[in-house]
Structures are given as structure tokens and as C-alpha cells.
Structure 1
Amino acid sequence: MDESAQMLDLEFDGELLIPHVNTVAYRQIYALEGWLRRICLTAWMGTFGASWSQHLEPNLHRKLEGMVRRNRQRLHLDAESNDDLIWQSTHHELLAMLTDASIATSVHSLTGSDQDFIRDAFDEVREIRNILAHNRALSRKSHEILESLISNLRQVIDTFRASILYGSSDILDDSDWMGRFLAEQLIGNDWSQFQAFVARKGDFVEYVTLPTAPFDKWPDAELLLKVFAEHLDNIVAFCLNKERDEFIILAPAILDDESHLDLCDKFSQNPQVWTDVPFTAQHPKFICSPKIWIYENQSPLKARTL
């Protein structure tokens, strides 16, 4: 590499040189851990429902609960501060939860990979993550190593995305008690303003609202979290269409009937959770909440294979 090419890796911040690859690598690890935390939450909730955290190793559970309490002391910083235990975890703790034997079947179903593969691949990222956490400078070679490690996990993540965000589901009609209950709740509904249905996707139930005219609004992350606050323990995520006024509430099918009925009843009321503020302009502590996921209108995974 000649000197001019090497210089492109560095930029000045006043008198201090900053390696550009550090900022790129941090963004990649942020995204990687974000997806792995989602996989972890989905697997635990798909297996145990709302009580999933009670099945964690007791010492780990106590430690994470303590971190939640400390996290609440940082509210004045105005950062994303959700109480979800998985988002409190360190790299090591996340790896322990993701590879817990009690969710092995669910993890394999969601990712197509076994836990040993995920453990080995994710554990290798730890060293570079630690370098970044201590603000040590990376080089191009460091970044090439990181990208190779991340590529080992990309299929795991893409399989999860294909399944949960873009996988097919079966609409539940009057022959199913959940479909029948929603239909009863929507008697007299103005379908030009609220197009909704409930569907089954593997171990999960989806409460879906479709776009309606004039197609000029977005789901408001803050309003969703507030309106459904009493139901958040029963919700894996609110999945928001990146381009349209459409969202899906993803819940584990294993929930008890009363929890599903309460959630379906709240959903059927067509709560006003819309805004003219696009996702990129909404407050990060809401739109980046662990409960807020975003999906493309058309699967990018299908386009990639064409």
C-alpha cells in the first residue's frame, strides 16, 4: 500500500488523528449485535412467552435485573434505555443467553444454524470489539479480519430475517378462534381507514394493519410504545414497514389465551399511532428501541438472489 492510500485511513479531529475504520467497524458491530439480540429475544419468547426471563440462569437473571436498575439512573442522558434484559447484557452474557440449551431448537429453527457455530463465530468478534471499546486504533487489516468474521454470521442473520421479517404467514379466518375474535371486534369497522387481520407464522402470531389512503404517514414509535405499554411483555416487536403506513405486532403464539385476547382487543381499536415524521427524524430513544423493528416493503434478500 502506498503512502497516499494509507493516509485515507486517517482523518484529523483538530490535532488528533482518527482511524476511519474504527467508525466503520463500530457501526458494523452495532448492527451485528442488534440482530443477534433480536434473534435471542425471539428465541426466548417463542419458547417461553412473556415469562421467558424467569427461565434464565438465576445468577445471570439477578445480574441483568441489577443492570436495569442502574440503567434507569441514566434517563437524564436522553438515550435509548429500554428495560429489556437482553439489551442490558454484555457480549459474554448475550452469548450465554443465545447459546442456552433450553432454546436450542428455537435458535436452529430461526437461523438454520446450531448454537456451537454461532458461539464460535460470535466469540471471535469479541477481541476486535474489545479493541474498539478501549478506543485503540484499527488498521485496514484489522477491519478485513472483522469483515471475515461478520460474514460467518451473515447467513445466520439473513435466515432469521427471511423467516421473521419476510417469511410467509397464514391469515386466521373465522375457523380459528383468534381470527373469529378479531372479526367480531371489527364489526362496523370502516375498512377504508383500518385494514387489519391476524395471521400465524410458525411459533408466532402477527397482528397486521395495512396501508390506507392517503398513504402519507408513518407509525410513530413513541406512540406505539405508549399505547401498548401494558402489553409490551407479551410483544416480541412492532415491525414497521420502511416505506408505508403499515405495521405488524409480533407476539409468541405460546401466550395464554387471555393475553392474546387483550392484545387483539387493543389492536382492534385502531389506536392512533401515526405521524408525519419519517423514521429517520423520530427520536432515537424510541425508534431505536429493542421493540421497534423495521422491514423493507419488498424483501432485499430475494432481490439479492436474482
Structure 2
Amino acid sequence: MIVITSASTSQVQSGTDSTAKKFQAKAPATQPFSAEAFASSNNTTIRWLGMAGFFINSHGTTFMIDPLMEGYDMPLLMDFPIKPKSVPHLDAVLATHSDNDHYSVETFHDLASVTKEFHSTIYVDSLMKNEGFHSFGHYIGDTFHFGKVTARLTLADHAWQNDFPKPGQRYYSPGDACGFWFNTPDGSIWAPGDSRFMQEQLHMPKPDAILFNYSEDAAFHSGLEGAVKIANAYPNTPIILSHWGFVDAPDFSPFNGDPKHLIDKVVNPERINVLAPGEPFILKRLKNKN
């Protein structure tokens, strides 16, 4: 696995030419993978799916977090590393919240026939049950198991809908969105999910990897300042970035984090992993978590 310490780009700074786009950091070229990635193994391999999604194979236990592999309603800069029809089997699929770039109903339907179980918050589970998925809902702090993996829901703050109320809209509570903490045979993985910065995020057990939904939008995500605080709270933990460099939307800040801004501000910046979609990362238990 190659650690890239700067983002590649295909767009330029806007100038007098009205057709030029604003600068937008772009992820490295997609590295497609196939059914072989789902086979039994002797380690835990993490792959970014693009968008906010991840695929993990831990000693043959396979699962996805927030997979979106088709059917999105905004233009994309990149190709997804695998199509749903190429996925042979999954022990679990997990959704952190109900936004369609995390809970992709189309993708979930296409994965349903090869997925043993779906997991999310109580609210998102109600949506999944309406779609006929074999799903389970959990409260923040709840723990559940699948295969060789234990998962726990962690707190997140992403109730952006309450700031833009529509007639008849439900009130979104803190427990409607979540992150996930995974314990695997090779160490722990924390996926905080989309969330405003929270002080609680600085006081987690030290994970062996963080799957970080990196956005410089501070209104409903961590923002750059919050991201730096979280990264520096766990100075030896590898951080794998997602939620950046994939959507063609230079004027829409939630998708436009630039890893170079983060790398310049964190302790031990070499642990910031700017992976290509589909590129494998092998999880290793940290020797020094101090």
C-alpha cells in the first residue's frame, strides 16, 4: 500500500474565463477490485469505495459502511471501484445516517440478495424495513456482532434537516445518525460518520485506524479545525480519508475537503492516507497508542 501525501487534481483555479472551474482536489485514479477481494484472508483489509463508503474484509468477514456504488444524483469525478453486481457476498452492510450518499436505497437493493444483514440507527432501520431489507436498528452505544467482527454505535451530530424545516417534517434527534466502532482480529477501526465536531470525539479509546469523513464544511461536518483536533487527539493512528475528491461540485463545500490543508496541520502527517478508491490498506494494531 502506497501512502500518498498530496491530492491529485484535474481542475484549475477560476480566472477571467467564465468556463473555468474553481480548484477542487481530486482523489487518485480509481483502482478497481473484483470478487477476489472478498475471499478468506489472514488480515484485515480496508478499501475506500469512493464517496463516504468503505469495504472491509477481516479474515473472511466482509462488510461495507455507507456503500454508494450507483444511482447518485450529482455528477462524479471518479469511477466506483466495484459494481454491486460484482459483489459476491457480504456479512453486513451498515449505514451511518439517512442521507442518500450514505444510505443509497438503490445500492442497498442491489446488495440485498448477497447481504446477510443490514444495520443502522433505530430511525434508519425503520426506513430500511420499509424497503424490505433484513435490517436491525440500534441505539447509540449498542453493540452487535457479525462474523469475526464486533460493532458499536458511536455518537454523531448530523441533524442538518432541523436547520431547514419543511412542513410536516419530523424532528431529527441525535440518535438518528451515528458512527461505528469495530473490533477486528487485527485491531480497532473507528468510522465517526458525518458529524459536526464534538468534544466527545476527542476522548475515544485510541483506534488502530480512523475512517474519516473529511469535509471542510463546519456547518454540518467537522470542518478543517475540527478535523485537525480529532486527528491530533490520536497522534499515532492512521487516518483514511473519504467524503472528498469524488463529487464534481466545486461550489459545494461538504464534498470539497483538500487533504493538503489537513496534512499541513496534524501531528505525524505521514499517517494521513490519501487512498485511491479501491486501493487496499492493511490494518495493523498500533504498538504505541500513547
TM-score after normalising by structure 2:
0.26
Task: Please identify the structure whose Cα radius of gyration is greater.
Answer: 1
More strand, by proportion: 2
TM-score after normalising by structure 1:
0.25
* Higher RCO (C-alpha under 8 Å, 6+ residues apart): 2
More helix, by proportion: 1
